[in-house]
Amino acid sequence: MTQQIFDTATRTLRAFEPLREGHVSIYLCGATPQSSPHIGHLRSGVAFDVVRRWFAANGNDVAFVRNVTDIDDKILTKAAEHDRPWWEWVSTYEREFSRAYETLGVLPPSVEPRATGHVTQMVDYMQRLMDNGYAYAADGSVYFDVAAWVAAGGDYGSLSGNRVEDMEQGETDNRGKRGAHDFALWKAAKPGEPSWPTPWGDGRPGWHLECSAMSTWYLGESFDIHGGGLDLQFPHHENEQAQSHAAGDGFARYWMHNHWVTMAGEKMSKSLGNVLSIDRMLEAVRPVELRYYLGSAHYRSVLEYSPEALQEAAVAYRRIEDLITRASALAPVEPGQWTDAFADAMNEDFSVPRALAEIHKTVRAANKALAAGDTDEATRLAGAVRAMAGVLGVDPVEWAGRAGAGSDSADTARVTEALDVLVRAELDRRAEARAAKDWATADAVRDRLTEAGIEVTDTADGAQWSLKENNNG
């Protein structure tokens, strides 16, 4: 099956054809390190890490560029509020993002450019836009001329599906703008703010210009895939595309957007105060289990957070881990070949839920082979599981060999695993009692587990358990 990608720009499932056979170029909008990352930020990193791994697993050379927006209004505001130099503030939180990516097993990018290191490229980009009649200088700032681009038949609004008249930029400094919809390519210097020299005056980059300049500098005037969170579709990506096309670049041939992590139906955001830090999450599960959870939903679907869902994901991962451990005790288990069903799932717009279903189907088959004493078949199937889990970045053998896979969290995981054995024994006793219609014993088991802080949920796959959330502070 040919790789299919849901292209946001056309709103269709399109066959993927790279610009160059055997080479895939991807640009992902990375961190704006104004504060510590939360799981909403990291979902994008995990989702596109899976995309990258699948292309690489199929023999492609993948050029993967993930930027850092290291100059931004929010960064300057936060640094000023805390009386810290802006460069020190951004460096502090950039390191936190890097640590979080590494903790979750996200592969390092081919290159990780920073906006402040590419002012020369931005100046060149602005000059090209001016030469083409789609940008103008005003009071030390430089703006993109939306009206001129639209009048020339430009595709402004095509990516987000918005009408031009409805596309408010949300910019507060509008000095010298010709049109209300024009957006800043370059912002004139303000007292106390960092600035860089340009032919039109000292200032700092506009958010959208940064990504056009960096993506094309490293990947060329046209590249295969541009990715990012759904919240970036407008204005950021819409403006990126407009200025890049207006400059004469082909720019991204496919657009991919991952959906949000939500809590109680609300998008995670610091402004709403509903964020969960990576460190807090790792008090409950191991890094690999958190990665499994963040990558378990389809990238275009909402991932609704709950403590129960997180624990269910951890238990599901441990089933994979347990199989590999038991099979490896009998014979070496090397990564084998994924199944056709797994490949079909990944080729259909990276359908990780279907891919995980195939992994667990294979785990069950391998467990049956182990129970039957068929070591050869169990080893073969376990090798397939390793190959498939590796594509998703959750191969238990690779994680077991990772330095710093989580010291405190690893201790927590061992306790959880031991608890799982004990709870499972109780759940088996409860199931036997229910089968015998011994409701008193079944209820007594459940009550005892509830008293111990363990919540039992009956599902089609049998009883599942999770620790009740601690609401004491």
pLDDT tens for 146-169 read 999 999 999 999 999 998 888 888
Whole-model pTM?
A: 0.85
Residue 314: φ, ψ to 5°: -65, -40
Round to whole Å and give the CA distance between 58 and 391. 10
Round to whole Å and give the CA distance between 406 and 283. 10
pLDDT of residue 381: 98
pLDDT of residue 473: 40
Round to whole Å and give the CA distance between 51 and 126. 32
pLDDT of residue 472: 43
pLDDT of residue 471: 44
Round to whole Å and give the CA distance between 186 and 137. 9
Which residues on neighbouring strands pair with residue 5, listed in sequence order?
14
Per DSSP bridges, beta strands 303-305 and 462-467 are unpaired
pLDDT of residue 328: 96
What burial class does residue 147 get, using C-beta atoms within 10 Å of its C-beta: 0-12 exposed, 13-18 middle, 19+ buried?
Answer: middle
Please tell me what DSSP assigns to residue 232. G
Per DSSP bridges, beta strands 303-305 and 261-263 are parallel
Round to whole Å and give the CA distance between 219 and 211. 12
| CATH 1.20.120.640-classified regions of the chain | 286-405
Q: Which residues of the chain have pLDDT under 50?
A: 404, 406-410, 412-413, 471-473
Per DSSP bridges, beta strands 303-305 and 454-459 are unpaired
| CATH 3.40.50.620-classified regions of the chain | 4-258
Round to whole Å and give the CA distance between 453 and 466. 9
Q: Which CATH class is domain 286-405?
A: mainly alpha
Upstream peptide bond of 235 is cis (omega within 30 degrees of 0): yes
What does the CA dihedral 364, 369, 375, 381 come to, rounded to 10 degrees? -40
Classify 340 as helix, strand or coil. Answer: helix
Round to whole Å and give the CA distance between 466 and 423. 10
Q: Which CATH class is domain 4-258?
A: alpha beta
Are the CB atoms for 246 and 154 separated by under 8 Å?
A: yes
pLDDT of residue 416: 59
Q: In sequence order, which ranges of 25-85 are alpha helices (DSSP H)?
A: 39-57, 73-81
CB atoms within 10 A of CB 418: 10
Return the beta strands (E) in 52-205 as ranges. 61-68, 135-138, 141-144, 183-188, 203-205
